[in-house]
Structure 1
Amino acid sequence: MTKNTENNSGFFSHEMFYKLANRSPRFHRISAMLLDHFLMCFFIIPIAILFTITAEILGFKLLDGMRFYVWILIFFLYYNKDFFNAKSPAKRIMGYQVINRKTGKPATELQCFVRNFTIVAWPIEVIVGFLNPERRIGDFLANTKIVLSEKEKLKTIWTDLKRTKLKLNYIGIIIIGIIYFFGLSYIIP
């Protein structure tokens, strides 16, 4: 008896997804991008909502300008999803890592931040990622590429966070982020 790979609603099962992902590096890479987007939204947006509700309950009235800065913080976290060991949550789960094209070593925090500048053109990034699974537009800007790596559990992020020490790069990333988002505030209405 053959195993049915579709559930009753007509969508692909997890087994079919993994079979397809293992056969096609393009599908695997795009699924990692989509998983990253889902995970980041799943974790960050509830934090922003909770922050807004808490501020309102405590009597802090968030003006439109203040809400804008909360959203900037959300995007800043999203832009730095590859910050620890050049692996975002989805890259850890699916076995990818961002590396420096010249050295072959894990990309620096600044390179990871720069490669995510193009997230404002996310649909275009997905198309480029489909055409070239190793590099998307942001990788060309940061001189990085994606390579296969050891799969990890999400809890390894906490281990990396505990080992992190303040570096000059971090201050530079914050300054660049402030300038970048300040510039975007004039472009995006």
Structure 2
Amino acid sequence: MEDNKPSLISRIGAMLLDYMILNFALPVLGMILMIPFMLDKIPNGPPSHDPEPFEYTYMTCVFGIIFGILFAKDVFKGRSIAKLAFKQQLVVHRTENTAGPLRSVIRNFTFFIWPIEFIATLISPGRRIGDLIAGTRVIKYDGRADSVKWTQIIVAYVVGVLFCVVTLFGLMFLVEDIIAPKAPKYLESSYNEALSHEIEDLITADQKLEVVPDVRYYDQLKNDSTVSYVSILLDYESGISRQYEVEERIQFIITNKVNDRPLIGRFIHFHYRTGNSETRRHSFDWTEEEKIMNSK
């Protein structure tokens, strides 16, 4: 058993080669798969008062496809490209039979702790943490002839994709409010058209501002009749370099106009350069009382 154990140098070399190959190929594949998503997100007009929520389903599936390939790097006869180059093979620890595709995929689930796995390999070249989980180890290739088990490979790849997708969806669920905060839900029937136009007129007439506003003021939220909500689309005719100054001035105008109740607001900026057809967007939520936002 010790005779077929690969040397530390060859194992480190194989790990680094696998890492370099995957680190080059998978990002390229990812960028190709992301093209439809990026094309769909290209702005094709002024933004809405109700922007579409961040959609991470497609991105999660792309990551699933990519990491599924990474997990499946050893499914062909227990040998990745690097193991072919360094004449190594993945086998079942107890029997030394060639590791099946499913074992090979499970072994690579620990890629997410790659630095720890690297240290584990320094300690035990033949068995890292993933090998302990999958019941496998790496040996010197002995020239054995194995058949390619396509059905098992497909099943193992699907398992790898599902593992990645489920893991990512779980993480997204936990941090969803951080990466894609949701706007407070206002009561549509409480739209105050008269007050919306009054605020628009005040913003337009302010000589310190050079913006074209589109205001939607709602008297209450769906779950709190004591809180109002205002959404403001701003077309910056002279650029957005004064963004924060403009925001503060508009907040001052609105809170002076409506000072009898707590207010949640959202600025949605857009800017068109007529010469270059450039569109810029920015969304910013604000409230008079931070505890209001935290409670919704």
Above 0.5 in TM-score?
yes
Contact 1:27 1:130 in 2 (8 A): no
Change (3 A) 1:56 1:171: closer
Change (3 A) 1:119 1:56: closer
Question: Any gaps of 5 or more consecutive residues in structure 1?
Answer: 1-23, 152-159
Change (3 A) 1:47 1:126: same
- Is the counterpart of residue 166 in structure 1 residue 158 in structure 2? no
Which residue of the partner structure matches residue 34 of structure 1?
Answer: 16
Counterpart CA distance in 2 for 1:174 and 1:56 is 22
Shift of 1:181: 3.2
Which residue of the partner structure matches residue 207 of structure 2?
Answer: none
TM-score scaled by structure 1? Answer: 0.70
- Counterpart residue identity of residue 28, structure 2: P
Name which of 73, 77, 80 aligns with 2:69: 77
Say which SS state the counterpart of residue 181 (structure 1) adopts. Answer: helix
- Counterpart residue identity of residue 162, structure 2: I
Name which of 98, 102, 117 aligns with 2:94: 102
- Counterpart residue identity of residue 76, structure 1: G
Shift of 1:50: 1.9
Q: Which has the higher helix share?
A: 1
Which residue of the partner structure matches residue 132 of structure 1?
Answer: 124
Q: 1:16-60: CA deviations, max 9, x gaps? A: xxxxxxxx922221121111011112222111212223x258x54
Contact 1:114 1:142 in 2 (8 A): yes
Counterpart CA distance in 1 for 2:164 and 2:59 is 17
- Counterpart residue identity of residue 10, structure 2: H
- Is the counterpart of residue 178 in structure 1 residue 162 in structure 2? yes
- Is the counterpart of residue 67 in structure 1 residue 51 in structure 2? no
Which residue of the partner structure matches residue 11 of structure 1?
Answer: none
- Counterpart residue identity of residue 183, structure 1: T
Say which SS state the counterpart of residue 97 (structure 1) adopts. Answer: strand
Change (3 A) 1:51 1:184: closer
Shift of 1:145: 0.5
Shift of 1:101: 1.3
Q: 1:37-88: CA deviations, max 9, x gaps? A: 11112222111212223x258x545943312221121111100000101001
Give the structure, 1 or 2, with the largest relative contact order (CA under 8 Å, sep 6 or more): 1
Greater mean deviation of Cα atoms: 84-93 or 43-52: 43-52
Change (3 A) 1:40 1:182: same
For 1:36-55, list aligned pairs within 5 A.
36-53=18-35, 55=36
Question: Any gaps of 5 or more consecutive residues in structure 2?
Answer: 1-5, 43-54, 176-296
- Counterpart residue identity of residue 181, structure 1: V
For 1:113-132, list aligned pairs within 5 A.
113-132=105-124
Which residue of the partner structure matches residue 156 of structure 1?
Answer: none
- Report how many aligned residue pairs link the two structures: 153
Q: Which has the larger radius of gyration?
A: 2
Contact 2:71 2:160 in 1 (8 A): no
TM-score scaled by structure 2? Answer: 0.46
- Counterpart residue identity of residue 137, structure 2: K
Counterpart CA distance in 2 for 1:178 and 1:56 is 21
- Percent identity over the alignment? 27
